[in-house]
């Protein structure tokens, strides 16, 4: 395995991209300028967990008129469960050295993670 700009093995840096959701993805994206594997996982982390974070904010701010609060009380636990499952799967795959692409986020991450020099 290659070393990264952070001095970590690329699989460990890939795992850390997901450790603190989009925050650690952002930090490693800014630190890692060369390693495509780490940059891919960093961007995918920002997209996936940033989206889940935004969904949570939107559901929390929605007015609670009749029936709508029940909708957000059903949807948010499902989104949270999906987030936990994705968090675990993505960390394991990154640690195994696998570039695991999620359907939409993975395509965007591949496009947006191009190294700064290339």
Q: Which of 71, 14, 11 is nearest to 42 (CA)?
A: 14
Q: Is residue 87 situated within a structural domain? A: yes
Domain count, the chain: 1
Q: Is residue 104 situated within a structural domain? A: yes
Rounded to a whole number, what is the distance in angstroms from the first to the last CA of the chain? 21
Residues 6+ apart with CB under 8 A from 53: 21, 22
Instruction: Identify the pLDDT of residue 67.
Output: 59
**Higher per-residue confidence, 104 vs 75:** 104
Q: Is residue 4 situated within a structural domain? A: no
Cβ–Cβ contacts within 10 Å for residue 62, how many? 12
Q: Is residue 57 situated within a structural domain? A: yes
Domain span holding position 100: 10-112
What does the block give as tokens for 1? 């395995």
Distance from C-alpha of 100 to C-alpha of 74, rounded to nearest angstrom: 29
Instruction: Identify the pLDDT of residue 57.
Output: 84
pLDDT digits (tens, 9 = 90+) for 43-55: 999 999 999 999 8
Q: Is residue 84 situated within a structural domain? A: yes
Q: Is residue 51 situated within a structural domain? A: yes
Global model pTM greater than 0.85:
yes
Q: Is residue 117 situated within a structural domain? A: no
Q: Is residue 5 situated within a structural domain? A: no
């Amino acid at each position: 395995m290659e070393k990264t700009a952070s001095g970590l093995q690329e699989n460990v840096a890939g795992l850390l991209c997901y450790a603190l959701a989009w925050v650690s993805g952002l930090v490693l994206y800014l630190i890692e300028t060369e390693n495509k594997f780490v940059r891919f996982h960093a961007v995918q982390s920002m997209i996936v967990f940033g989206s889940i974070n935004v969904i949570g904010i939107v559901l929390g701010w929605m007015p609670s008129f009749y029936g709508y609060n029940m909708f957000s009380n059903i949807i948010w636990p499902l989104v949270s469960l999906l987030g936990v499952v994705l968090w675990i799967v993505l960390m394991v795959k990154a640690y195994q050295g696998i570039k695991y692409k999620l359907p939409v986020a993975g395509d965007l991450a591949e496009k947006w993670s191009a190294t700064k020099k290339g």
